[in-house]
């Protein structure tokens, strides 16, 4: 019979490798970005959470979305910044802090780089477009065809 000692000496742990599809990885990445984009903008954070190397994760994201993890995080921050600029009239400096920027100037630089417009100009333009769309929706609105479309 075998003794416990001989079993312990010969024991080699078997590591199970589980295949996780790229679609599942991307779904989990999207969830992680939604949960942490305000405080975590470093792609390594997301790679660590997914137990993947950053190069592997970037390979997957580039293959399926044509974007890197960094770009996906930036897109999420931009989406939320646009939402906050449109809703509630929150001052830009508060939006910057809400989105995890250390200084409002960093947010303003980020927004201009991503959109080509300053945040306040983008907000102003969107407010004008909303007013024009509202006027177009009114049944008695005259000169509908002469108004610019946004």
> How open is the CA angle 128-120-138, to the nearest 5 degrees?
15
Long-range contact pairs involving 85-89 (C-beta distance under 8 Å, separation at least 24): 85/119, 85/122, 85/123, 85/126, 86/123, 86/126
Predicted TM-score (pTM) above 0.75: yes
| Domain span at 19 | 4-146
The token pair at 29 is 């990445």
CATH number at residue 51: 1.10.10.60
- Is residue 58 within 8 A of residue 26, CB to CB? The reply is no
**Structural domains in the chain (count):** 1
41-93 tens-digit pLDDT: 999 999 999 999 999 999 999 999 999 999 999 999 999 999 999 997 899 99
- Confidence label for 147 from pLDDT (cuts 50, 70 and 90): very low
């Amino acid at each position: 019979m075998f003794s416990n000692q001989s079993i312990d000496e010969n024991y080699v742990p078997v590591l199970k490798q589980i295949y996780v599809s790229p679609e599942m990885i991307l779904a989990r990445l999207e969830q992680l970005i939604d949960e942490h984009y305000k405080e975590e903008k470093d792609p390594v954070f997301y790679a660590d959470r997914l137990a993947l190397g950053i190069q592997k994760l970037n390979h997957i994201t580039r293959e399926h979305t044509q974007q890197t993890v960094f770009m996906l995080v930036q897109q999420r921050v931009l989406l939320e910044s646009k939402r906050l600029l449109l809703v509630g009239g929150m001052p830009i400096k508060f939006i910057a802090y809400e989105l995890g920027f250390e200084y409002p100037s960093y947010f303003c630089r980020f927004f201009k780089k991503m959109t080509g417009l300053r945040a306040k100009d983008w907000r102003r333009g969107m407010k004008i477009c909303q007013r024009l769309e509202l006027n177009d929706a009114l049944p008695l609105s005259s000169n509908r065809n002469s108004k610019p479309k946004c």
